[in-house]
Amino acid sequence: SKNYKIAVLPGDGIGPEVTNESVKILKVIASVFNYNFQFDYGVMGAEAIFQTGNPLPEETLELCKNSDAVLFGAIGDPAFDNNPDAKVRPEQGLLKLRKELGLFANIRPIKTYDSLIKKSPLKKEIIEGTDIQIYRELISGIYFGEKFTDENGEYAYDVCKYSREDIVRIAHLAFQDAQKRKKKVTLVDKANVLDTSRLWRKICQEIAQEYPDVTLDFMFVDNAAMQMILNPKHFDVILTENMFGDIISDEASVIGGSIGLLPSASIGEDNALFEPIHGSYPQAKGKGIANPVASILSAAMLLDYLGLGPAAEKLRESVEHAIESRYVTVDLNADQNYSTAEVGNFISDYIQFSEKTYYN
Ligand code: IPM
Ligand code: MN
């Protein structure tokens, strides 16, 4: 069978612990489904700065460029968060990697699990049945515009810029996905104030003509922040620019009951990277309490991307089984909980056991 090269960047904080579980599970998937995965490790983030002074060493970048997919953990370290004067920062590694690999679309699915409905601080009637797919533009906008801080520290700016091409390529992905779902795209913007938002609206209206079966609606981001928790079922596909997407996806994670559940895929023309939407959670580092599900579901998105759909389905089914069995980490059950590795083992055992009976 074909050989797939998977670059693994565990990163900082809980990144290595959760990524370990995903790699363990991908190895089981490979043996059960008879695939060949080659895992090659690279350093990025604070760990890379401590080792080499560079948050994205050239070697790591090359490794990722030459892989079929990248599995990434998390980035960030308090040593940098609390120091606004730090010139080199862990996050620069991830931003540079996204840019260099051309990962323009960040896809973040938000859904609820029946057995976790009570874990959300939101009311059951409001969240039950929520199923949202966020398309966040990832390599343009205010994150990547010109930046400046004057010498005296009196003023600074960050420029938000979008080109037609930036918008067109992600808009097509969002519309195509909507066609397979509930056929609705909501463009989240601030078109009453920002020129970039008005460009997004104009171009998305043009593109919508090519998808007559899909409805396009618009929502200002401040209202969207409110609707996300008042009426999340309003949304099917959300299409939005870089920073708005960053903010509303963290907000949306409250719906599912834990940010530790949410995966993401970052897609470009030739490359793709898969990562949990949560951060490096330094307080939990090394304690074995981090929820590996967001990373494991990111691995499922990686399998989909490689065209290994049945394995991706199997993996998602196994994660659902763990959640429905309440075999979960402390963020989801304070009374009886399992460690990061126990949850990973439970899921990989289920994959092995249920496939065996299937083949016998
Ligand atoms: C995310 C993170 C990153 C972002 C940080 C770590 C640069 O918050 O992936 O959502 O803002 O894009
Ligand atoms: Mn974020």
pLDDT at 358 over 80: no
Active-site annotation holds for 81: no
Cα 242 to ligand 2 centre (Å): 10
> Do 10 and 41 contact (CB within 8 A), yes or no?
yes
Ligand nearest to the CA of 276: 1
Nearest CA residue ID for atom 12, ligand 1:
246
In a domain, 355, yes or no: yes
In a domain, 115, yes or no: no
> Do 189 and 240 contact (CB within 8 A), yes or no?
yes
- Binding pocket residue ranges, ligand 1, CB within 6 Å: 75-76, 91, 94-95, 246, 277
Nearest CA residue ID for atom 7, ligand 1:
91
**Residue range 306-322, pLDDT digits in tens:** 999 999 999 999 999 99
Q: Could you give the C-alpha distances from 244 to 58, 141, 172, 219, 239, in angstroms and in order? A: 30, 10, 19, 12, 10
Same domain, 249 and 128: yes
The rounded distance, in Å, linking the Cα atoms of 179 and 307 is 19
Same domain, 91 and 135: no
pLDDT confidence bin for 105, thresholds 50/70/90? very high
In a domain, 357, yes or no: yes
Same domain, 180 and 306: no
In a domain, 245, yes or no: yes
Question: Does ipTM come in above 0.90?
Answer: yes
pLDDT for 257: 87
- Output b/e per residue, 310-333; b: 16+ Cβ within 10 A: ebbebbbebbeebbeeebbbbbbe
In a domain, 214, yes or no: yes
| Number of structural domains the chain divides into | 2
Which CATH number covers residue 170?
A: 3.40.718.10
In a domain, 331, yes or no: yes
257 vs 237: which has the higher pLDDT: 237
Nearest CA residue ID for atom 5, ligand 1:
91
Specify binding-site residues for substrate.
98, 108, 136, 222
The residue from 131, 158, 250, 304 that is catalytic is: 250
The rounded distance, in Å, linking the Cα atoms of 182 and 178 is 6
Same domain, 223 and 283: no
pLDDT average, residue stretch 9-17: 98
**Residue range 213-233, pLDDT digits in tens:** 999 999 999 999 999 999 999
In a domain, 270, yes or no: no
The residue from 222, 287, 349, 356 that is catalytic is: 222
pLDDT at 351 over 60: yes
Q: Which atom of ligand 1 is nearest to the CA of 275?
A: 9
pLDDT for 2: 86
Dig out the tokens for 26 from the structure: 């991908």
Same domain, 82 and 187: no
Same domain, 98 and 127: no
Active-site annotation holds for 177: no
In a domain, 262, yes or no: no
Residue 239 lies in domain: 121-256
Apex 206 CA angle, 201 and 209, nearest 5: 125
Same domain, 222 and 305: no
pLDDT at 355 over 60: no
